[in-house]
């Protein structure tokens, strides 16, 4: 039976003024792409599966936020009557009585964007609704918060408070160790699959927003209060990693196997220019920097900055950002490096966007065969400094091999998939051994 929401009371659903609606419509953001995100075309089984129990730890306060580009109604073969309705950006639950979800619209557009939670079915659900549907064909930042002390759930769209309910008496953890945690799919088989793009999905165990705010379209940064975070930066393959390493990878579609219904990787993202694969190589008396970056097509420049101590940087060169949309390779040669250690970072200077920086890489010009790891306390990434191409192996504290790889140059490597603990790195063909701690 199709779900129809009955508002529990006028006090639990606040109709916002025309001024609020105007503010909401004026903050619609255009796509900044490229970058990578997942595109859902509303076909059968076109969804992403997140790990079991992803909200089980939310016993109190929380925030669920994401960027999405909703493309509205579309064909839904298993429910031709209700095909535009109840699309899911996410739906976490176990069945048709235990769920938490967000939908861009309900009931032929009678109600707007909806955030709902229940562990006993539709008769006792908790609901927060916006007076209007999620904006069409535009990027929207959605933030859903819950304050346990005041039992208040709130919905922000593009930084504007559009709905709240002061009577949410149910914690997210009441759903238990949820097994059906989906992006793009509903617990109810007759609901529409999602039609749009999802980018940057974060779950936190705090209330991150309490008043209207301006969303910043940069990649979310994991912190101590981040429960799970999916950047969808992979651009290919069947999985996307949790940047916090608290949970396993998200899986495209029903299984790890490639399926025709899987979401599609696309280079259309709300995120501005992003620097990828920043590497460094010392060669004789020069240092060569190489990086790969996604461009928005709005122009700008990369400012190459150098430091002798890793904290105080100054510009040593400028490279123009490719004026076309796409992902391109860039290079810079420092013909006069400093004696000793040289630290480098790339400043991204785009028009109309606050400056941001790449990770830091470094090389030592003292002539020694220098192998080093930085930082020694790592959460998601390590920088390995090598004088020449080598193969490295990473072992845990018990001496078990956990990773082996060939490095062609000094570069960053990902370690977010490793468990917390002590590790050491061996350089094959050398007696060198490096140590680090995975946080």
pLDDT at 177 over 90: yes
Count of other CB atoms within 10 angstroms of residue 326: 13
User: How far is it, in rounded angstroms, from Cα 173 to Cα 59?
Assistant: 5
Per-residue CA distances from 338 to 36, 313, 342, 366 (Å):
37, 13, 6, 9
* CATH code of domain 272-367: 2.60.40.2060
User: How far is it, in rounded angstroms, from Cα 355 to Cα 246?
Assistant: 30
pLDDT (mean) for 113-131: 90
pLDDT (mean) for 144-163: 96
CA atoms in the 13 A half-sphere facing the CB of 27: 23
Class of CATH domain 10-266 = mainly beta
pTM assigned to the model: 0.60
Q: Six-digit token pair at 401? A: 């091999």
H or E element, residue 114: strand 114-118
pLDDT digit string, tens, across residues 327-383: 788 999 998 888 888 999 998 887 666 677 787 888 888 755 567 787 778 888 888
Please give the mean pLDDT across all residues of the chain: 82
Range among 113-127, 281-295, 338-352 with highest mean pLDDT value: 113-127
What is the domain partition of the chain in residue ranges? 10-266, 272-367, 369-439
User: 10-266 and 369-439: same fold?
Assistant: no
Lowest mean pLDDT among 131-135, 246-250, 359-363: 359-363
Position 377 scores a pLDDT of: 82
pLDDT (mean) for 386-393: 83
369-439 adopts what CATH topology?
Immunoglobulin-like (2.60.40)
């Amino acid at each position: 039976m199709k779900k129809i929401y009955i508002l529990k009371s006028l006090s639990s659903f606040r109709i916002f003024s025309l001024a609020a609606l105007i503010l909401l419509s004026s903050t619609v953001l255009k796509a900044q792409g490229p970058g990578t995100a997942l595109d859902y075309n509303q076909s059968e089984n076109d969804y992403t599966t997140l790990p079991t129990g992803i909200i089980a730890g939310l016993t109190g306060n929380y925030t669920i936020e994401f960027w999405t580009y909703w493309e509205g109604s579309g064909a839904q073969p298993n429910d031709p009557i209700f095909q535009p309705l109840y699309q899911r950006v996410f739906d976490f639950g176990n069945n048709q009585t235990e769920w938490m979800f967000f939908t861009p619209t309900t009931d032929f557009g009678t109600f707007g964007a909806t955030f709902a939670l229940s562990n006993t079915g539709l008769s006792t659900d908790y609901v927060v609704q916006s007076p209007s549907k999620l904006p069409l064909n535009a990027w929207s930042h959605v933030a859903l918060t819950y304050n346990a002390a005041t039992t208040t759930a709130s919905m922000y769209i593009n930084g504007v408070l559009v709905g709240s309910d002061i009577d949410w008496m149910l914690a997210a953890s009441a759903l238990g160790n949820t097994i059906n945690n989906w992006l793009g799919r509903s617990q109810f088989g007759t609901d529409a699959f999602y039609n749009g793009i999802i980018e940057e999905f974060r779950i936190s165990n705090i209330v991150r927003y309490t008043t209207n705010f301006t969303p910043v379209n940069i990649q979310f940064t994991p912190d101590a209060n981040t429960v799970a975070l999916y950047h969808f930066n992979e651009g290919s393959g069947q999985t996307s990693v949790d940047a916090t390493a608290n949970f396993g990878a998200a899986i495209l579609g029903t299984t790890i196997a490639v399926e025709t219904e899987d979401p599609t990787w696309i280079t259309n993202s709300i995120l501005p220019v992003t620097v990828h694969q920043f590497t460094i190589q010392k060669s004789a008396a020069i240092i060569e920097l190489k990086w790969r970056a996604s461009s928005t097509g709005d122009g700008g420049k990369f400012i190459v900055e150098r430091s002798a101590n890793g904290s105080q940087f100054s510009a040593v060169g400028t490279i123009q950002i490719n004026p076309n949309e796409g992902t391109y390779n860039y290079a810079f040669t420092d013909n006069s490096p400093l004696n000793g250690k040289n630290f480098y970072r790339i400043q991204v200077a785009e028009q109309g966007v606050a400056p941001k920086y790449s990770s830091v890489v470094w090389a030592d010009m003292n002539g020694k065969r220098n192998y080093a790891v930085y930082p020694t306390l790592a959460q998601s990434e390590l920088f390995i400094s090598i004088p020449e191409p080598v193969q490295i192996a990473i072992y845990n504290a018990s001496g078990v091999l956990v990773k082996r790889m060939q490095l062609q140059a000094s570069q960053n490597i990902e370690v977010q998939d490793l468990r917390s603990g002590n590790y050491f790195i061996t350089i094959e063909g050398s007696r060198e051994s490096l140590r680090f701690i995975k946080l």
